[in-house]
């Protein structure tokens, strides 16, 4: 369906009230191709929107929003050890995780309850509790919205990184993801080495994939505000990655800083700790606030404008830099 001057309020989890000049949603690839061939205004900007759980609309969008409602989980191939699944881009991510766990398939259980869609999981390489989507994605199918060329990006071509992929770069700017291929395992080891996961798991009566999913959902519900009640987009900032030398200096000044080893000898710092320790938990600009249970999350207390949220984010970036000399950058995409 094509809509004109369409409100995006229900399409971004911050609940920002703004609109798109055109909004197109589709249930299957035939509808998408038909739209791109006949009705797509190629001279206007476009943006592919998933669940809107990682975007901040800064103003009305003067072009076309393309939104997938395409659903389906198809078993492409099955061996004694694993299953190759093709999942439509508009499938709700957590519905897919629930399906996988129900079918006793391992590989995405720690990503339970992450908001958003399957298409966006590849763009963002979503991650939580020691697991990333990239570990299970084997290919991404996409269409070039201008030429209608269909392309299959191998996992390597997706160039996955921490909350990053080729789909966030110029190279894949013109592509709209139609489905994602995942390889999930029939047997596997559960990843329990994050925080108190292991302790919680061992305290549980039954210890299986379902238990782990329930625990992850519990932890997220304890810490993260439900976007259906309180507008937010999960972690607003990425955890910054700094060199070992920078880290040594930081740790001398702040011995309690929370960190994790990162690739190439670098160190990933818990941005939530930096923000909380700078005294910013609960800090407000207008109706935008630093969440009181998780400082990495910014919330809309009800009437926040995108300007409130941007001003709050800038103030946090500034104060964190002043205090620690560490630059934090938004994970959330400004549109």
Residues forming the active site: 163, 235, 331
Task: Provide the minimum distance between the beta carbon of 8 and ligand EPU in the complex, in angstroms, as a whole number.
Answer: 20
Task: Provide the minimum distance between the beta carbon of 240 and ligand EPU in the complex, in angstroms, as a whole number.
Answer: 10
Contact by Cβ (8 Å): 293, 205: no
Contact by Cβ (8 Å): 90, 118: yes
Task: Provide the minimum distance between the beta carbon of 87 and ligand EPU in the complex, in angstroms, as a whole number.
Answer: 20
Give the residue from 73, 66, 40, 35 showing the smallest Cα distance to 52. Answer: 66
Spatial distance between the Cα atoms of 192 and 194, rounded to a whole number of angstroms: 6
Instruction: Centre a 10 Å sphere on the Cβ of residue 77 and count the other Cβ atoms it contains.
Output: 11
Which tokens in the block code for residue 329? 């950058």
Task: Provide the minimum distance between the beta carbon of 54 and ligand EPU in the complex, in angstroms, as a whole number.
Answer: 7
Instruction: Give me the half-sphere count of Cα atoms (radius 13 Å) on the Cβ side of residue 224.
Output: 23
Give the residue from 220, 6, 8, 9 showing the smallest Cα distance to 115. Answer: 220
**Under rule CB under 6 A, which residues in 79-138 are in contact with ligand EPU?**
128-129
Stretch that binds ligand EPU, among 40-48, 101-109, 137-145, 234-242 (CB under 6 A): 234-242
272 near ligand EPU, rule: CB under 6 A: yes
Spatial distance between the Cα atoms of 137 and 84, rounded to a whole number of angstroms: 10
Residue 34, by phi and psi: left (phi above 0), alpha (psi -120 to 50) or beta? alpha
Q: Which is nearer to ligand EPU, 231 or 272 (CB)?
A: 272
**Under rule CB under 6 A, which residues in 155-214 are in contact with ligand EPU?**
194-195
Stretch that binds ligand EPU, among 17-25, 76-84, 97-105, 233-241 (CB under 6 A): 233-241
- Selected from 47, 254, 273, 321, the binder of ligand EPU by CB under 6 A is 273
Q: Which is nearer to ligand EPU, 139 or 304 (CB)?
A: 304
Terminal-to-terminal C-alpha distance of the chain: 22
Lay out the site mask for ligand EPU across 49-88 (x = CB under 6 A, - = otherwise).
Answer: ----------------------------------------
- Selected from 71, 185, 238, 319, the binder of ligand EPU by CB under 6 A is 238
How many residues at the interface with ligand EPU, by CB under 6 A? 18
Stretch that binds ligand EPU, among 24-32, 177-185, 272-280, 311-319 (CB under 6 A): 272-280
Q: What share of the chain is helix, strand, coil (3-state, %, to 5)?
A: 30, 30, 40
- Selected from 159, 258, 310, 326, the binder of ligand EPU by CB under 6 A is 258
Tell me how far CA of residue 232 lies from CA of 73, 288, 289, in angstroms: 28, 10, 10
217 near ligand EPU, rule: CB under 6 A: no
Spatial distance between the Cα atoms of 32 and 39, rounded to a whole number of angstroms: 10
Which residues would be at the binding site for ligand EPU (CB under 6 A)?
A: 128-129, 194-195, 223, 234-235, 238-239, 258, 270, 272-273, 276, 294-296, 331
């Amino acid at each position: 369906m094509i809509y004109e001057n369409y409100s995006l309020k229900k399409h971004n989890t911050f609940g920002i009230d703004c609109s798109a000049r055109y909004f197109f949603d589709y249930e299957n690839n035939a509808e998408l191709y038909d739209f791109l061939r006949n009705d797509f205004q190629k001279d206007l900007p476009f943006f592919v929107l998933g669940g809107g759980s990682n975007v901040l609309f800064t103003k009305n969008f003067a072009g076309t929003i393309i939104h997938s409602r395409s659903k389906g989980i198809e078993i492409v191939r099955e061996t004694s050890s694993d299953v190759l699944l093709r999942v439509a881009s508009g499938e709700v991510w957590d519905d897919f995780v629930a399906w996988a766990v129900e079918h006793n398939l391992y590989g995405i259980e720690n990503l339970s309850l992450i908001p958003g869609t399957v298409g966006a999981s590849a763009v963002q390489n979503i991650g939580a509790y020691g697991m990333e989507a990239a570990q299970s994605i084997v290919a991404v199918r996409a269409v070039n919205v201008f030429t209608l060329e269909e392309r299959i990006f191998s996992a390597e071509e997706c160039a996955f990184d921490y909350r990053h992929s080729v789909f966030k770069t110029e190279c894949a700017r013109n592509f709209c993801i139609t489905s994602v291929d995942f390889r999930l395992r029939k047997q596997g080891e559960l990843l329990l080495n994050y925080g108190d996961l292991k302790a919680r798991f061992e305290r549980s009566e039954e210890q299986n994939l379902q238990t782990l999913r329930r625990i992850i959902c519990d932890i997220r519900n304890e810490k993260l505000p439900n976007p259906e009640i309180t507008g937010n987009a999960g972690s607003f900032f990425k955890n910054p990655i700094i060199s070992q030398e920078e880290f040594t200096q930081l740790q001398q000044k702040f011995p309690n800083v929370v960190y994790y080893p990162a690739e190439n000898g670098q160190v990933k710092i818990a941005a939530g700790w930096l923000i909380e320790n700078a005294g910013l938990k609960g800090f407000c600009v207008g109706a935008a606030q630093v969440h009181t249970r998780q400082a990495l999350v910014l919330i809309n207390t009800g009437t926040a404008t995108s300007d409130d949220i941007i001003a709050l984010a800038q103030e946090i970036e500034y104060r964190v830099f002043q205090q620690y000399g560490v630059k934090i950058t938004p994970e959330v995409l400004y549109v």
